[in-house]
């Protein structure tokens, strides 16, 4: 965790102490996972959050990315490609329908409804793949790596906030 002046490293394997304070440097910027001293290190700026529960949950999210990295996860998306992601009306409309049918399939009471909505989900996803091309792989990588981390974040927030 860092501020504009200092970085607090907790249980970093490069150091023998449980907590180490070092001066802030440009390598500690953002809310992300970095390689610090060749080891994946979750970083968060302390004053970026309204409360400790949110800070804790986002830190858990980034720590989970560290676990993914240590365990050999290699499907991290190309974040530069994400900058050029096509947010046009057709893609957004198709994506909305895709998500609606995925939600409906999960919530369906009867198997016939579930199968129908899953087929609709697949149809919309295939159509979007035609529309956005290479960006579909980018999206799938996001889903593979980020969705489990968001799940960890949500659960950490629930535990920490007492919800």
pLDDT in tens, 66-102: 999 999 998 888 888 889 998 899 999 999 999 999 9
Contact criterion met (CB below 8 Å) for 82 and 55 = no
**Lowest-confidence range among 6-15, 79-88, 119-128?**
79-88
Q: 3-state DSSP: the chain helix, strand, coil percent, rounded to 5?
A: 60, 15, 30
For residue 162, the model assigns a pLDDT of: 85
Share of the chain above pLDDT 70, in %: 100
For residue 144, the model assigns a pLDDT of: 92
- 86 contact partners, CB below 8 Å, separation of at least 6: 131, 132, 135
For residue 90, the model assigns a pLDDT of: 95
Nearest-angstrom CA–CA distance, 101 and 108: 10
**Which uninterrupted H or E stretch holds 123?**
helix 111-132
Share of the chain above pLDDT 90, in %: 88
pLDDT band at 18 (very low <50, low <70, confident <90, very high): very high
Nearest-angstrom CA–CA distance, 81 and 35: 21
- Quote the tokens at residue 137: 């792989």
For residue 81, the model assigns a pLDDT of: 85
3-class state of residue 35 by DSSP:
strand
- Quote the tokens at residue 40: 């994946």
| 9 pLDDT higher than 90 | yes
For residue 155, the model assigns a pLDDT of: 95
pLDDT band at 163 (very low <50, low <70, confident <90, very high): confident
Contact criterion met (CB below 8 Å) for 78 and 85 = no
Contact criterion met (CB below 8 Å) for 129 and 121 = no
Average pLDDT, the chain: 94
Contact criterion met (CB below 8 Å) for 68 and 124 = no
**Model pTM score:** 0.80
Nearest-angstrom CA–CA distance, 139 and 91: 12
For residue 79, the model assigns a pLDDT of: 82
By C-alpha distance, which of 43, 54, 58, 32 is closest to 2?
43
For residue 78, the model assigns a pLDDT of: 84
């Amino acid at each position: 965790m860092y501020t504009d002046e200092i970085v607090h490293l907790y249980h970093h394997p490069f150091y023998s102490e449980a907590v180490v304070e070092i001066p802030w440097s440009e390598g500690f910027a953002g809310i992300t996972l970095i390689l610090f001293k060749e080891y994946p290190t979750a970083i968060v700026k302390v004053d970026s959050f309204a409360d400790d529960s949110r800070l804790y949950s986002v830190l858990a999210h980034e720590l989970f990315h560290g676990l993914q990295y240590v365990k050999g996860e290699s499907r991290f998306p190309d974040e530069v490609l994400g900058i050029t992601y096509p947010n046009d009306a057709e893609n957004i409309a198709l994506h909305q329908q895709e998500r609606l049918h995925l939600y409906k399939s999960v919530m369906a009471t009867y198997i016939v409804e579930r199968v129908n909505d899953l087929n609709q989900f697949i149809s919309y996803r295939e159509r979007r793949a035609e529309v956005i091309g290479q960006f579909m792989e980018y999206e799938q990588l996001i889903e593979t790596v980020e969705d489990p981390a968001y799940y960890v974040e949500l659960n950490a927030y629930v535990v920490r906030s007492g919800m």
